[in-house]
Amino acid sequence: MAQLMCVGVRSWHQMCCCTAGGRDTRVSGFCVAAGDGSRALRIALRLRSPRTHKLQRFETVMRVLLHEMAHIVHSNHSAHFYELMEELGRQYDGYLARGVVLDAQNMPMAEGNRLDPKTHNPRLPAKRAALAAAEARQRKARVLGRGGAVGGFGADGDNVGGCRNGAEWRSRDPRELAVRAAQARQRQWDAEHGLGADELALSASAARAEEQARPRR
């Protein structure tokens, strides 16, 4: 999976509510970047739901992983960070479309369905079609905004792309509006999974621990 971006990860950790690193149950993962834009000292992921220890959905864990891989390059949640995360998502989708389910280290890149072009698996296409339809409805609702008017205002008083009036909205490039809307959706998803200030604080704490554990010359 790391080859999506040609990066190296020194160690992987599972976050659990039973251990010190996972007691902040709001956070789904964090990354301790090496600072060179190509390596991570540690990536931690929450594979099980807090307290119940039920395995998380594969899609959720993979989405968190893509988020943390983007932190190898960008330490904050800037627009550049989300642009990189979107690119990683496109690369990952491309691998799945070609039927690639394992990376170079034989790590799984897809849920437990074998993507064999010679066989038919009706469950996976149906699941993706339903997801695509739901996302399309969601995109339409967010673009139209309140009352079904294009560029309608959202809950925060801004319409798609952060424009506050129709004239400003019409002056924007539609592609820019689409990118901003997608990033806004991703930010909302991240917030719901603790991938915000709490995540960065946990990452900083883990980075200090890595520094303290490093042998002194």
pLDDT in tens, 158-195: 444 555 555 665 677 787 878 788 888 889 999 999 99
Q: What is the pLDDT of residue 23?
A: 86
Residue 7, pLDDT > 50, answer yes
pLDDT average, residue stretch 117-125: 44
Q: Could you give the percent of the chain with pLDDT greater than 90?
A: 30
Tokens standing for residue 125: 């296409």
Q: What is the pLDDT of residue 148?
A: 43
Crossing angle for the helix pair 79-97 and 174-192, nearest 10 degrees? Answer: 90
How far apart (Å, rounded) are the C-alpha atoms in residues 190 and 42? 20
Higher pLDDT, 172 or 73: 73
Q: Could you give the percent of the chain with pLDDT greater than 70?
A: 64
pTM over the 0.75 mark: no
The rounded mean pLDDT for the chain is 75
Higher pLDDT, 209 or 140: 209
Question: Lowest-confidence range among 32-46, 88-102, 137-151, 159-173?
Answer: 137-151
Dihedrals φ, ψ of 25, to 5°? -70, -5
Tokens standing for residue 174: 């539609």
Q: What is the pLDDT of residue 11?
A: 86
Q: What is the pLDDT of residue 64?
A: 95
pLDDT average, residue stretch 110-133: 49
Q: What is the pLDDT of residue 114?
A: 44
The DSSP code for 206 is: H
Sign of the Cα pseudo-torsion (154, 160, 163, 167, in order): negative
Distances (CA, A) of 20 to 24, 87, 127, 202: 8, 33, 36, 11
Residue 9, pLDDT > 90, answer no
How far apart (Å, rounded) are the C-alpha atoms in residues 181 and 162? 9
